[in-house]
Amino acid sequence: MLLPKGFFVDWGWIAGPAAWMLCAAFTARVLALPLIPALIGAVLAGLPSLVAVLFDLHWAGAVLAVGLFALWCARLPGQPARL
């Protein structure tokens, strides 16, 4: 394990959202999506996940957030692929 469980107990409230935003930025870069709208979508998609965490259903919140983020990104204009 790279980090001990105690790290996530103490710092999970910031490590999780930071990782979520980094992954969203990476996704936007790979798919040639506009960065700021993609990050806004990540924030909005992550909000329902907070409700799931309050009910101790972190796994369900993650699945819901990924699905909502995918739907958000699908409506964003992409850049044409460069060969």
Domain span holding position 57: 46-78
Whole-angstrom distance, CA of residue 33 vs CA of residue 9: 33
Asked whether 65 and 51 are in contact (CB, 8 A), the reply is no
Whole-angstrom distance, CA of residue 43 vs CA of residue 37: 10
Please determine, for residue 65, whether its predicted confidence score (pLDDT) is greater than 70: yes
Quick one: pLDDT at residue 34?
Answer: 95
Asked whether 9 and 58 are in contact (CB, 8 A), the reply is no
Quick one: pLDDT at residue 83?
Answer: 54
Domain count, the chain: 1
The answer to whether residue 62 is domain-embedded is: yes
Quick one: pLDDT at residue 55?
Answer: 93
The answer to whether residue 22 is domain-embedded is: no
SS3 content of the chain, % helix, strand, coil (to 5): 75, 0, 25
- The secondary structure of residue 3, as a DSSP letter, is S
Q: What pLDDT digit, counting tens, does each position of 3-59 carry?
A: 898 998 899 889 999 999 999 999 999 999 999 999 999 999 999 988 998 999 989
The answer to whether residue 68 is domain-embedded is: yes
